[in-house]
Chain A
Amino acid sequence: MIEVKDVSKIFMVPHQVNALVDVTENIGRAEVVVVIGPSGSGKSTLLRCLNRLETADKGHIYIDGVDILHPKTDINKIRAEVGMVFQSFNLFPHKTVKQNVSLAQNVVRKRSSGEAEEITMALLNKVGISDKKNVYPEQLSGGQQQRVAIARALAMNPKAMLFDEPTSALDPEMIGEVLDVMKTLAREGMTMVVVTHEMGFAREVADRVIFMDEGRVVEVGTPEHFFKNPTHDRTKLFLKQIL
Protein backbone atom coordinates (compact mmCIF):
# COMPACT_ATOMS: atom_id res chain seq x y z
CA MET A 1 0.00 0.00 0.00
CA ILE A 2 2.68 2.49 1.07
CA GLU A 3 6.26 1.76 0.03
CA VAL A 4 9.10 3.93 1.23
CA LYS A 5 12.45 3.25 -0.42
CA ASP A 6 15.76 4.82 0.64
CA VAL A 7 14.14 8.14 1.42
CA SER A 8 16.35 10.96 2.66
CA LYS A 9 15.51 14.54 3.54
CA ILE A 10 17.79 17.34 4.67
CA PHE A 11 16.53 20.63 6.09
CA MET A 12 18.87 23.54 5.39
CA VAL A 13 16.93 26.18 7.34
CA PRO A 14 17.51 27.29 10.05
CA HIS A 15 20.53 24.99 10.10
CA GLN A 16 21.39 21.74 8.40
CA VAL A 17 19.50 18.77 9.84
CA ASN A 18 19.40 15.26 8.45
CA ALA A 19 15.68 14.79 9.01
CA LEU A 20 15.49 11.42 7.24
CA VAL A 21 18.38 9.11 6.40
CA ASP A 22 17.77 6.23 3.99
CA VAL A 23 14.42 5.22 5.41
CA THR A 24 12.94 2.09 3.87
CA GLU A 25 9.58 0.74 5.03
CA ASN A 26 6.60 -1.08 3.61
CA ILE A 27 3.15 -0.60 5.00
CA GLY A 28 0.57 -3.13 3.95
CA ARG A 29 -3.13 -2.69 3.32
CA ALA A 30 -5.21 -2.46 6.52
CA GLU A 31 -2.04 -2.32 8.56
CA VAL A 32 -1.78 0.04 11.53
CA VAL A 33 1.74 1.33 12.00
CA VAL A 34 2.67 3.51 14.96
CA VAL A 35 5.80 5.64 14.66
CA ILE A 36 7.42 6.69 17.91
CA GLY A 37 10.62 8.43 18.79
CA PRO A 38 12.05 11.45 20.59
CA SER A 39 11.24 14.92 19.25
CA GLY A 40 13.33 15.79 16.22
CA SER A 41 13.73 12.15 15.29
CA GLY A 42 12.12 12.69 11.86
CA LYS A 43 8.86 10.83 12.50
CA SER A 44 6.66 13.78 11.54
CA THR A 45 8.84 14.50 8.53
CA LEU A 46 8.43 10.90 7.37
CA LEU A 47 4.66 11.21 7.69
CA ARG A 48 4.56 14.53 5.84
CA CYS A 49 6.69 13.05 3.04
CA LEU A 50 4.02 10.40 2.47
CA ASN A 51 1.58 12.97 0.98
CA ARG A 52 4.32 15.34 -0.18
CA LEU A 53 3.62 18.14 2.28
CA GLU A 54 7.39 17.78 2.47
CA THR A 55 9.25 16.63 -0.63
CA ALA A 56 11.84 13.93 -0.06
CA ASP A 57 15.28 14.80 -1.45
CA LYS A 58 16.17 11.25 -2.39
CA GLY A 59 14.51 7.86 -2.80
CA HIS A 60 11.07 6.69 -3.87
CA ILE A 61 7.66 6.69 -2.26
CA TYR A 62 4.89 4.60 -3.79
CA ILE A 63 1.26 4.94 -2.76
CA ASP A 64 -0.79 2.08 -4.21
CA GLY A 65 1.98 1.60 -6.77
CA VAL A 66 2.11 5.25 -7.87
CA ASP A 67 5.47 7.00 -7.51
CA ILE A 68 4.44 10.22 -5.79
CA LEU A 69 7.85 11.84 -6.36
CA HIS A 70 7.55 11.45 -10.13
CA PRO A 71 7.13 14.89 -11.77
CA LYS A 72 4.17 13.66 -13.83
CA THR A 73 2.20 12.44 -10.82
CA ASP A 74 -0.86 14.59 -10.02
CA ILE A 75 -0.19 15.10 -6.34
CA ASN A 76 -3.69 16.48 -5.67
CA LYS A 77 -5.14 13.14 -6.72
CA ILE A 78 -2.79 11.26 -4.38
CA ARG A 79 -3.53 13.61 -1.49
CA ALA A 80 -7.26 13.04 -1.88
CA GLU A 81 -6.58 9.33 -1.44
CA VAL A 82 -4.48 9.81 1.70
CA GLY A 83 -6.22 11.52 4.61
CA MET A 84 -4.20 13.51 7.10
CA VAL A 85 -4.96 14.59 10.66
CA PHE A 86 -2.83 17.28 12.29
CA GLN A 87 -1.70 17.97 15.80
CA SER A 88 -3.36 21.39 15.79
CA PHE A 89 -6.57 20.19 14.02
CA ASN A 90 -6.38 22.95 11.37
CA LEU A 91 -10.14 23.14 10.91
CA PHE A 92 -11.30 26.02 8.70
CA PRO A 93 -12.42 28.63 11.24
CA HIS A 94 -14.71 30.48 8.81
CA LYS A 95 -16.78 27.37 8.05
CA THR A 96 -19.20 25.43 10.20
CA VAL A 97 -18.55 21.83 11.20
CA LYS A 98 -20.73 20.63 8.35
CA GLN A 99 -19.05 22.92 5.82
CA ASN A 100 -15.61 21.81 7.03
CA VAL A 101 -16.47 18.23 6.20
CA SER A 102 -18.31 18.93 2.94
CA LEU A 103 -16.02 21.57 1.35
CA ALA A 104 -13.46 19.21 -0.20
CA GLN A 105 -16.21 16.77 -1.18
CA ASN A 106 -17.73 19.50 -3.36
CA VAL A 107 -14.50 21.01 -4.59
CA VAL A 108 -12.27 17.96 -5.03
CA ARG A 109 -14.62 15.01 -5.35
CA LYS A 110 -17.23 17.09 -7.21
CA ARG A 111 -20.06 15.50 -5.28
CA SER A 112 -23.51 17.06 -5.49
CA SER A 113 -24.48 18.94 -2.34
CA GLY A 114 -27.15 16.35 -1.53
CA GLU A 115 -24.70 13.48 -1.75
CA ALA A 116 -22.04 15.39 0.19
CA GLU A 117 -24.58 16.25 2.89
CA GLU A 118 -25.50 12.60 3.29
CA ILE A 119 -21.88 11.50 3.62
CA THR A 120 -21.10 14.41 5.94
CA MET A 121 -23.92 13.54 8.32
CA ALA A 122 -22.99 9.84 8.31
CA LEU A 123 -19.39 10.71 9.22
CA LEU A 124 -20.38 13.23 11.88
CA ASN A 125 -22.56 10.52 13.42
CA LYS A 126 -19.65 8.12 13.28
CA VAL A 127 -17.34 10.46 15.19
CA GLY A 128 -20.22 11.34 17.52
CA ILE A 129 -20.55 15.04 16.84
CA SER A 130 -23.62 15.37 14.60
CA ASP A 131 -25.37 17.60 17.16
CA LYS A 132 -22.73 20.30 16.53
CA LYS A 133 -23.08 20.33 12.76
CA ASN A 134 -23.92 24.04 12.49
CA VAL A 135 -21.37 25.24 15.00
CA TYR A 136 -18.09 27.01 14.19
CA PRO A 137 -14.85 25.27 15.23
CA GLU A 138 -13.93 27.91 17.84
CA GLN A 139 -17.00 26.88 19.85
CA LEU A 140 -15.80 23.27 20.12
CA SER A 141 -13.40 21.65 22.56
CA GLY A 142 -10.08 20.34 21.28
CA GLY A 143 -11.30 16.75 21.28
CA GLN A 144 -14.41 17.68 19.33
CA GLN A 145 -12.36 19.65 16.82
CA GLN A 146 -10.01 16.74 16.27
CA ARG A 147 -12.95 14.39 15.69
CA VAL A 148 -14.34 16.80 13.09
CA ALA A 149 -10.89 16.88 11.47
CA ILE A 150 -10.93 13.09 11.25
CA ALA A 151 -14.39 13.18 9.68
CA ARG A 152 -13.16 15.80 7.21
CA ALA A 153 -10.31 13.53 6.11
CA LEU A 154 -12.56 10.45 5.94
CA ALA A 155 -15.03 12.29 3.71
CA MET A 156 -12.63 11.83 0.80
CA ASN A 157 -12.87 8.02 1.14
CA PRO A 158 -9.11 7.77 1.62
CA LYS A 159 -7.22 4.51 1.13
CA ALA A 160 -4.93 5.39 4.01
CA MET A 161 -4.90 7.81 6.93
CA LEU A 162 -1.91 9.67 8.36
CA PHE A 163 -2.10 10.92 11.94
CA ASP A 164 0.50 13.48 13.03
CA GLU A 165 0.45 13.49 16.84
CA PRO A 166 -3.35 13.77 16.87
CA THR A 167 -3.66 13.92 20.66
CA SER A 168 -0.61 15.98 21.61
CA ALA A 169 -2.49 19.30 21.70
CA LEU A 170 -5.40 17.93 23.70
CA ASP A 171 -6.26 18.22 27.38
CA PRO A 172 -5.82 14.78 29.00
CA GLU A 173 -9.56 14.18 29.48
CA MET A 174 -10.19 14.54 25.74
CA ILE A 175 -7.51 12.18 24.50
CA GLY A 176 -9.74 9.14 25.00
CA GLU A 177 -12.55 10.28 22.72
CA VAL A 178 -10.13 10.84 19.82
CA LEU A 179 -8.29 7.56 20.37
CA ASP A 180 -11.65 5.74 20.43
CA VAL A 181 -12.47 7.04 16.97
CA MET A 182 -9.04 5.94 15.75
CA LYS A 183 -9.48 2.49 17.26
CA THR A 184 -12.81 2.12 15.45
CA LEU A 185 -11.12 3.05 12.20
CA ALA A 186 -8.36 0.51 12.80
CA ARG A 187 -10.92 -2.22 13.46
CA GLU A 188 -12.68 -1.35 10.22
CA GLY A 189 -9.50 -2.10 8.32
CA MET A 190 -8.21 1.37 7.53
CA THR A 191 -4.53 1.57 6.62
CA MET A 192 -3.08 3.91 9.22
CA VAL A 193 0.27 5.51 9.98
CA VAL A 194 0.20 7.16 13.38
CA VAL A 195 2.86 9.35 14.92
CA THR A 196 2.05 9.50 18.60
CA HIS A 197 3.30 9.45 22.15
CA GLU A 198 0.33 7.37 23.30
CA MET A 199 2.06 4.10 24.16
CA GLY A 200 -1.23 2.58 25.30
CA PHE A 201 -2.66 3.09 21.83
CA ALA A 202 0.46 1.62 20.23
CA ARG A 203 0.32 -1.45 22.44
CA GLU A 204 -3.38 -2.03 21.88
CA VAL A 205 -3.95 -1.16 18.24
CA ALA A 206 -0.67 -1.22 16.33
CA ASP A 207 0.27 -4.11 14.08
CA ARG A 208 3.80 -2.78 14.01
CA VAL A 209 5.74 -0.15 15.92
CA ILE A 210 8.55 1.80 14.29
CA PHE A 211 11.06 3.53 16.52
CA MET A 212 12.99 6.37 14.92
CA ASP A 213 15.92 8.42 16.11
CA GLU A 214 17.99 11.08 14.31
CA GLY A 215 16.24 10.44 11.01
CA ARG A 216 16.84 6.70 10.98
CA VAL A 217 14.58 3.74 11.66
CA VAL A 218 16.23 2.18 14.69
CA GLU A 219 13.90 -0.69 15.43
CA VAL A 220 10.73 -2.20 13.97
CA GLY A 221 8.59 -4.84 15.57
CA THR A 222 5.24 -6.00 16.90
CA PRO A 223 4.05 -4.21 20.04
CA GLU A 224 4.82 -7.28 22.20
CA HIS A 225 8.35 -7.52 20.95
CA PHE A 226 8.78 -3.80 21.10
CA PHE A 227 7.59 -3.11 24.62
CA LYS A 228 8.75 -6.39 26.24
CA ASN A 229 12.07 -7.24 24.56
CA PRO A 230 13.46 -4.22 22.74
CA THR A 231 16.79 -5.20 21.23
CA HIS A 232 18.35 -1.84 20.62
CA ASP A 233 19.93 0.17 23.42
CA ARG A 234 18.52 3.43 22.09
CA THR A 235 15.03 1.97 22.18
CA LYS A 236 15.49 0.69 25.71
CA LEU A 237 16.66 4.11 26.86
CA PHE A 238 13.70 5.85 25.19
CA LEU A 239 11.16 3.45 26.64
CA LYS A 240 12.71 3.79 30.09
CA GLN A 241 12.41 7.56 29.83
CA ILE A 242 8.74 7.67 28.83
CA LEU A 243 7.21 4.68 30.60
Chain B
Amino acid sequence: MDSSDSTISLLQKKQKRTYYMWVIVFFLIIFTGLGGLYYCTLKIDYTWRWYRVPQYFFFHEEVEVRTTVDGQVDEIRETDEGTLVVVEGDDGEELQYSFSSDDVRVYEGDLLFAGDVLGTFHEWRIGILLQGLWLTLKVSFIAIIFGIALGLFTGLARISANPAFKWLAITYIELIRGSPLLVQIFIWYFVLGTLINTMIAQAGISQVPPLWFGVASLATFTGAYVAEIVRAGIQSIHRGQTEASRSLGMSYGQSMYHVILPQAFRRIIPPLAGQFISLIKDSSLLGIIAIRELTKATREVVTTSLQPFELWFVCALLYLVLTFSLSMLLQYLENRMIHS
Protein backbone atom coordinates (compact mmCIF):
# COMPACT_ATOMS: atom_id res chain seq x y z
CA MET B 1 0.00 0.00 0.00
CA ASP B 2 2.64 2.49 1.14
CA SER B 3 5.06 1.51 -1.53
CA SER B 4 2.46 1.82 -4.30
CA ASP B 5 1.44 5.28 -2.98
CA SER B 6 5.00 6.49 -3.09
CA THR B 7 5.42 5.05 -6.59
CA ILE B 8 2.43 7.07 -7.76
CA SER B 9 3.68 10.29 -6.17
CA LEU B 10 7.09 9.71 -7.78
CA LEU B 11 5.39 9.31 -11.15
CA GLN B 12 3.37 12.49 -10.61
CA LYS B 13 6.53 14.36 -9.64
CA LYS B 14 8.25 13.21 -12.79
CA GLN B 15 5.27 14.23 -14.95
CA LYS B 16 5.27 17.65 -13.28
CA ARG B 17 8.99 18.10 -13.85
CA THR B 18 8.64 17.22 -17.53
CA TYR B 19 5.73 19.65 -17.87
CA TYR B 20 7.63 22.59 -16.39
CA MET B 21 10.70 21.75 -18.44
CA TRP B 22 8.67 22.16 -21.64
CA VAL B 23 7.11 25.40 -20.36
CA ILE B 24 10.66 26.73 -20.01
CA VAL B 25 11.46 25.48 -23.51
CA PHE B 26 8.46 27.46 -24.83
CA PHE B 27 9.68 30.73 -23.32
CA LEU B 28 13.25 30.03 -24.43
CA ILE B 29 12.13 29.64 -28.05
CA ILE B 30 10.04 32.84 -27.92
CA PHE B 31 12.79 34.95 -26.35
CA THR B 32 15.51 33.50 -28.58
CA GLY B 33 13.39 34.42 -31.61
CA LEU B 34 12.85 37.98 -30.42
CA GLY B 35 16.46 38.36 -29.28
CA GLY B 36 17.72 37.00 -32.59
CA LEU B 37 15.60 39.47 -34.49
CA TYR B 38 16.89 42.37 -32.41
CA TYR B 39 20.48 41.18 -32.82
CA CYS B 40 20.08 41.05 -36.60
CA THR B 41 18.71 44.60 -36.73
CA LEU B 42 21.75 45.77 -34.77
CA LYS B 43 24.00 44.01 -37.29
CA ILE B 44 22.52 45.99 -40.18
CA ASP B 45 22.66 49.22 -38.18
CA TYR B 46 18.90 49.65 -38.04
CA THR B 47 17.95 52.31 -35.52
CA TRP B 48 14.74 51.65 -33.69
CA ARG B 49 12.77 54.84 -33.25
CA TRP B 50 9.59 53.81 -31.51
CA TYR B 51 9.09 57.40 -30.33
CA ARG B 52 8.26 58.35 -33.91
CA VAL B 53 5.27 56.00 -34.05
CA PRO B 54 2.70 57.78 -31.81
CA GLN B 55 2.51 60.80 -34.12
CA TYR B 56 0.84 58.59 -36.71
CA PHE B 57 -1.96 57.93 -34.25
CA PHE B 58 -2.42 61.45 -32.89
CA PHE B 59 -0.42 64.56 -33.60
CA HIS B 60 -0.36 68.14 -32.44
CA GLU B 61 -0.74 70.29 -35.49
CA GLU B 62 0.05 73.97 -35.82
CA VAL B 63 -2.82 75.65 -37.63
CA GLU B 64 -2.31 79.07 -39.19
CA VAL B 65 -5.16 81.55 -39.20
CA ARG B 66 -5.08 83.77 -42.28
CA THR B 67 -7.06 86.83 -43.25
CA THR B 68 -9.33 86.44 -46.24
CA VAL B 69 -9.42 90.11 -47.22
CA ASP B 70 -7.05 93.04 -47.71
CA GLY B 71 -7.33 95.61 -44.94
CA GLN B 72 -6.14 96.78 -41.58
CA VAL B 73 -6.07 95.27 -38.08
CA ASP B 74 -8.71 97.23 -36.23
CA GLU B 75 -8.61 95.64 -32.82
CA ILE B 76 -6.97 92.74 -30.89
CA ARG B 77 -8.74 91.66 -27.76
CA GLU B 78 -8.70 88.73 -25.31
CA THR B 79 -12.07 87.02 -24.92
CA ASP B 80 -13.31 83.89 -23.14
CA GLU B 81 -12.73 81.78 -26.25
CA GLY B 82 -9.24 83.13 -26.87
CA THR B 83 -7.92 85.95 -28.96
CA LEU B 84 -10.21 87.98 -31.18
CA VAL B 85 -8.67 89.79 -34.13
CA VAL B 86 -10.94 92.27 -35.91
CA VAL B 87 -9.89 93.16 -39.46
CA GLU B 88 -11.46 96.07 -41.28
CA GLY B 89 -11.44 95.41 -44.99
CA ASP B 90 -10.63 98.05 -47.58
CA ASP B 91 -14.27 98.05 -48.60
CA GLY B 92 -15.26 98.93 -45.03
CA GLU B 93 -16.50 95.48 -44.09
CA GLU B 94 -15.46 94.17 -40.64
CA LEU B 95 -14.31 90.58 -40.20
CA GLN B 96 -13.68 88.82 -36.88
CA TYR B 97 -11.17 85.97 -36.41
CA SER B 98 -11.31 84.19 -33.10
CA PHE B 99 -8.81 81.50 -32.04
CA SER B 100 -7.24 80.29 -28.80
CA SER B 101 -3.66 81.28 -29.25
CA ASP B 102 -0.46 82.23 -27.54
CA ASP B 103 1.02 83.27 -30.85
CA VAL B 104 -0.58 86.36 -32.40
CA ARG B 105 1.58 87.65 -35.26
CA VAL B 106 -0.05 91.04 -35.98
CA TYR B 107 -0.47 94.32 -34.13
CA GLU B 108 -3.31 96.79 -34.14
CA GLY B 109 -3.02 99.11 -37.13
CA ASP B 110 -1.04 96.61 -39.32
CA LEU B 111 -1.84 96.68 -43.01
CA LEU B 112 -2.78 93.25 -44.33
CA PHE B 113 -3.16 91.48 -47.62
CA ALA B 114 -5.48 88.52 -48.12
CA GLY B 115 -3.66 85.35 -46.99
CA ASP B 116 -1.45 87.01 -44.38
CA VAL B 117 -1.02 84.99 -41.18
CA LEU B 118 -2.81 86.54 -38.19
CA GLY B 119 -1.65 83.93 -35.71
CA THR B 120 -1.37 80.24 -35.05
CA PHE B 121 -2.91 77.72 -32.66
CA HIS B 122 -2.32 74.07 -31.93
CA GLU B 123 -4.83 71.34 -32.40
CA TRP B 124 -4.83 67.54 -31.85
CA ARG B 125 -5.43 65.66 -35.09
CA ILE B 126 -6.07 62.00 -35.78
CA GLY B 127 -3.07 60.41 -37.48
CA ILE B 128 -3.07 58.47 -40.71
CA LEU B 129 -2.72 55.07 -39.01
CA LEU B 130 -5.84 55.58 -36.93
CA GLN B 131 -7.68 56.85 -39.99
CA GLY B 132 -6.60 53.70 -41.83
CA LEU B 133 -7.68 51.53 -38.92
CA TRP B 134 -11.07 53.22 -38.87
CA LEU B 135 -11.50 52.71 -42.62
CA THR B 136 -10.54 49.04 -42.33
CA LEU B 137 -13.09 48.66 -39.56
CA LYS B 138 -15.76 50.47 -41.56
CA VAL B 139 -15.19 48.56 -44.80
CA SER B 140 -15.09 45.23 -42.96
CA PHE B 141 -18.21 45.98 -40.97
CA ILE B 142 -20.31 46.96 -43.99
CA ALA B 143 -18.98 44.01 -45.99
CA ILE B 144 -19.81 41.63 -43.14
CA ILE B 145 -23.40 42.89 -42.96
CA PHE B 146 -23.92 42.52 -46.73
CA GLY B 147 -21.98 39.24 -46.70
CA ILE B 148 -24.32 37.76 -44.08
CA ALA B 149 -27.44 38.78 -45.98
CA LEU B 150 -26.04 37.52 -49.29
CA GLY B 151 -24.76 34.30 -47.72
CA LEU B 152 -28.03 33.57 -45.97
CA PHE B 153 -30.09 33.92 -49.15
CA THR B 154 -27.56 32.04 -51.26
CA GLY B 155 -27.33 29.27 -48.68
CA LEU B 156 -31.10 28.87 -48.67
CA ALA B 157 -31.19 28.98 -52.48
CA ARG B 158 -28.41 26.38 -52.61
CA ILE B 159 -30.59 23.80 -50.84
CA SER B 160 -33.79 24.82 -52.61
CA ALA B 161 -35.53 22.37 -54.94
CA ASN B 162 -36.11 25.18 -57.46
CA PRO B 163 -33.47 24.72 -60.22
CA ALA B 164 -33.24 28.44 -61.01
CA PHE B 165 -32.39 29.35 -57.40
CA LYS B 166 -30.20 26.32 -56.87
CA TRP B 167 -28.14 26.69 -60.03
CA LEU B 168 -27.75 30.45 -59.57
CA ALA B 169 -26.42 29.79 -56.09
CA ILE B 170 -24.04 27.08 -57.29
CA THR B 171 -22.76 29.26 -60.15
CA TYR B 172 -22.16 32.21 -57.84
CA ILE B 173 -20.43 30.12 -55.18
CA GLU B 174 -18.18 28.30 -57.64
CA LEU B 175 -17.22 31.48 -59.52
CA ILE B 176 -16.27 33.29 -56.31
CA ARG B 177 -14.51 30.41 -54.63
CA GLY B 178 -12.62 29.48 -57.77
CA SER B 179 -10.92 32.81 -58.44
CA PRO B 180 -8.49 34.91 -56.38
CA LEU B 181 -9.89 37.79 -54.34
CA LEU B 182 -7.28 40.12 -55.83
CA VAL B 183 -8.61 39.41 -59.32
CA GLN B 184 -12.18 39.90 -58.11
CA ILE B 185 -11.25 43.29 -56.66
CA PHE B 186 -9.76 44.29 -60.02
CA ILE B 187 -12.90 43.12 -61.82
CA TRP B 188 -15.13 45.05 -59.45
CA TYR B 189 -13.07 48.21 -59.76
CA PHE B 190 -11.80 48.24 -63.33
CA VAL B 191 -14.59 46.38 -65.14
CA LEU B 192 -17.84 46.72 -63.20
CA GLY B 193 -16.73 50.05 -61.70
CA THR B 194 -15.96 51.53 -65.11
CA LEU B 195 -19.25 50.23 -66.52
CA ILE B 196 -21.36 51.51 -63.64
CA ASN B 197 -19.66 54.87 -63.32
CA THR B 198 -19.72 55.53 -67.07
CA MET B 199 -23.38 54.63 -67.31
CA ILE B 200 -24.44 56.76 -64.37
CA ALA B 201 -22.27 59.61 -65.61
CA GLN B 202 -24.33 59.52 -68.81
CA ALA B 203 -27.46 59.68 -66.68
CA GLY B 204 -26.00 62.67 -64.86
CA ILE B 205 -25.69 61.06 -61.46
CA SER B 206 -22.58 61.49 -59.30
CA GLN B 207 -19.87 58.83 -59.33
CA VAL B 208 -19.64 55.85 -56.99
CA PRO B 209 -16.38 56.16 -55.00
CA PRO B 210 -13.87 53.24 -55.01
CA LEU B 211 -14.74 52.45 -51.40
CA TRP B 212 -18.06 50.95 -52.46
CA PHE B 213 -16.48 48.72 -55.09
CA GLY B 214 -14.12 47.53 -52.39
CA VAL B 215 -17.05 46.81 -50.07
CA ALA B 216 -18.88 45.03 -52.92
CA SER B 217 -15.92 42.80 -53.74
CA LEU B 218 -15.41 41.81 -50.09
CA ALA B 219 -19.14 41.27 -49.51
CA THR B 220 -19.63 39.06 -52.57
CA PHE B 221 -16.46 37.14 -51.73
CA THR B 222 -17.55 36.54 -48.12
CA GLY B 223 -21.15 35.85 -49.17
CA ALA B 224 -20.10 32.77 -51.14
CA TYR B 225 -18.27 31.30 -48.15
CA VAL B 226 -21.04 32.25 -45.72
CA ALA B 227 -23.51 30.51 -48.06
CA GLU B 228 -21.61 27.25 -47.76
CA ILE B 229 -21.42 27.66 -43.98
CA VAL B 230 -25.18 28.36 -43.80
CA ARG B 231 -25.93 25.37 -46.04
CA ALA B 232 -23.80 23.05 -43.92
CA GLY B 233 -25.43 24.44 -40.75
CA ILE B 234 -28.96 23.86 -42.02
CA GLN B 235 -28.15 20.40 -43.31
CA SER B 236 -26.61 19.48 -39.97
CA ILE B 237 -30.01 19.87 -38.31
CA HIS B 238 -31.72 16.50 -38.08
CA ARG B 239 -34.41 15.84 -40.71
CA GLY B 240 -36.83 15.00 -37.89
CA GLN B 241 -36.97 18.68 -36.95
CA THR B 242 -38.33 19.61 -40.36
CA GLU B 243 -40.73 16.67 -40.33
CA ALA B 244 -42.01 17.56 -36.86
CA SER B 245 -42.61 21.21 -37.72
CA ARG B 246 -44.13 20.47 -41.13
CA SER B 247 -46.37 17.77 -39.65
CA LEU B 248 -47.82 20.45 -37.35
CA GLY B 249 -48.90 22.37 -40.43
CA MET B 250 -46.10 24.93 -40.58
CA SER B 251 -45.11 26.13 -44.05
CA TYR B 252 -41.54 25.76 -45.33
CA GLY B 253 -40.80 29.36 -44.38
CA GLN B 254 -42.30 29.09 -40.90
CA SER B 255 -40.41 25.88 -40.23
CA MET B 256 -37.15 27.49 -41.40
CA TYR B 257 -37.68 30.66 -39.39
CA HIS B 258 -38.94 29.20 -36.11
CA VAL B 259 -37.28 25.80 -35.97
CA ILE B 260 -34.37 25.19 -38.33
CA LEU B 261 -32.49 28.50 -38.58
CA PRO B 262 -32.37 29.24 -34.82
CA GLN B 263 -30.75 25.85 -34.29
CA ALA B 264 -28.47 26.19 -37.31
CA PHE B 265 -27.24 29.62 -36.21
CA ARG B 266 -25.77 28.27 -33.00
CA ARG B 267 -23.73 25.80 -34.96
CA ILE B 268 -22.48 28.24 -37.59
CA ILE B 269 -21.21 30.95 -35.27
CA PRO B 270 -17.69 29.47 -34.89
CA PRO B 271 -17.09 28.99 -38.64
CA LEU B 272 -18.65 32.42 -39.29
CA ALA B 273 -16.19 33.97 -36.83
CA GLY B 274 -13.33 32.46 -38.81
CA GLN B 275 -14.79 33.81 -42.05
CA PHE B 276 -15.16 37.35 -40.68
CA ILE B 277 -11.62 37.33 -39.34
CA SER B 278 -10.49 36.36 -42.86
CA LEU B 279 -12.52 39.24 -44.25
CA ILE B 280 -10.84 41.79 -41.98
CA LYS B 281 -7.44 40.50 -43.07
CA ASP B 282 -8.44 40.37 -46.75
CA SER B 283 -9.49 44.01 -46.62
CA SER B 284 -5.74 44.76 -46.68
CA LEU B 285 -5.89 44.08 -50.43
CA LEU B 286 -8.15 47.08 -51.01
CA GLY B 287 -5.12 49.40 -50.98
CA ILE B 288 -4.60 48.54 -54.65
CA ILE B 289 -7.79 50.35 -55.66
CA ALA B 290 -6.87 53.53 -53.82
CA ILE B 291 -8.74 52.82 -50.59
CA ARG B 292 -6.49 54.03 -47.80
CA GLU B 293 -7.18 51.29 -45.28
CA LEU B 294 -4.71 50.24 -42.61
CA THR B 295 -2.18 48.48 -44.85
CA LYS B 296 -2.15 51.22 -47.48
CA ALA B 297 -1.89 53.83 -44.73
CA THR B 298 1.08 52.00 -43.22
CA ARG B 299 2.76 51.81 -46.62
CA GLU B 300 2.39 55.56 -47.03
CA VAL B 301 3.76 56.25 -43.57
CA VAL B 302 6.71 53.93 -44.22
CA THR B 303 7.67 55.83 -47.37
CA THR B 304 7.75 59.12 -45.49
CA SER B 305 9.11 58.02 -42.11
CA LEU B 306 11.56 55.35 -43.30
CA GLN B 307 10.86 53.31 -40.16
CA PRO B 308 9.47 50.15 -41.78
CA PHE B 309 10.28 47.72 -38.95
CA GLU B 310 8.32 49.52 -36.24
CA LEU B 311 5.43 50.45 -38.52
CA TRP B 312 4.81 47.03 -40.01
CA PHE B 313 4.87 45.50 -36.55
CA VAL B 314 2.38 48.12 -35.39
CA CYS B 315 0.22 47.45 -38.45
CA ALA B 316 0.14 43.71 -37.73
CA LEU B 317 -0.65 44.43 -34.08
CA LEU B 318 -3.58 46.67 -35.03
CA TYR B 319 -5.05 43.90 -37.21
CA LEU B 320 -4.59 41.54 -34.29
CA VAL B 321 -6.54 43.91 -32.05
CA LEU B 322 -9.43 43.96 -34.56
CA THR B 323 -9.55 40.22 -35.19
CA PHE B 324 -9.09 39.30 -31.54
CA SER B 325 -11.91 41.61 -30.40
CA LEU B 326 -14.19 40.16 -33.08
CA SER B 327 -13.44 36.61 -32.06
CA MET B 328 -14.09 37.53 -28.39
CA LEU B 329 -17.40 39.16 -29.35
CA LEU B 330 -18.58 36.11 -31.29
CA GLN B 331 -17.48 33.78 -28.53
CA TYR B 332 -19.58 35.84 -26.13
CA LEU B 333 -22.57 35.64 -28.49
CA GLU B 334 -22.15 31.90 -28.82
CA ASN B 335 -22.07 31.42 -25.06
CA ARG B 336 -25.10 33.61 -24.60
CA MET B 337 -27.07 31.65 -27.20
CA ILE B 338 -26.20 28.34 -25.58
CA HIS B 339 -27.24 29.50 -22.13
CA SER B 340 -30.45 31.18 -23.26
Contact = CB atoms under 8 A, between A and B. Distances in A.
Nearest to B241: A90
B247 A79 contact: yes
Interface of B is mostly: helix
Interface string B250-274: 1100100011001100100000000
Contacts of B245: 92, 104
Nearest to B263: A94
A156 B249 CA distance: 9
Interface string A35-62: 0000000000000000101000000000
A81 B248 CA distance: 8
A80 B262 CA distance: 22
A76 B250 contact: yes
A85 B257 CA distance: 22
A80 B249 contact: yes
Contact of B249 (A53, A90, A108): A108
B248 A153 contact: yes
Interface in A61-112: 76-84, 86, 88, 90-94, 103-104, 107-108
A153 B247 CA distance: 9
Contacts of B258: 103, 107
Contacts of B243: 53, 84, 86, 90
B64 to A, nearest CB: 63
Nearest to A51: B247
Given A93-B263, A107-B254, A108-B254, A86 B248 contact: no
A76 B244 contact: no
Contacts of A156: 248-249
A92 B241 contact: yes
A156 B258 CA distance: 17
Contacts of A208: none
A6 to B, nearest CB: 24
A9 interface: no
B60 interface: no
Nearest to B251: A76
Contact of A92 (B246, B247, B254, B259): B259
Interface of B: 238, 240-241, 243-251, 254, 258-259, 262-263, 266
22 contacts: A76-B251, A79-B246, A79-B247, A79-B248, A79-B249, A80-B249, A86-B243, A88-B240, A90-B241, A90-B244, A92-B241, A92-B245, A92-B263, A94-B263, A94-B266, A103-B248, A104-B249, A107-B254, A108-B248, A149-B244, A153-B248, A156-B249
Interface of A: 51, 53, 76-84, 86, 88, 90-94, 103-104, 107-108, 149, 152-153, 156
Q: 8 nearest interchain CB pairs? A: A80-B249, A90-B244, A104-B248, A90-B240, A84-B247, A108-B249, A79-B249, A76-B249
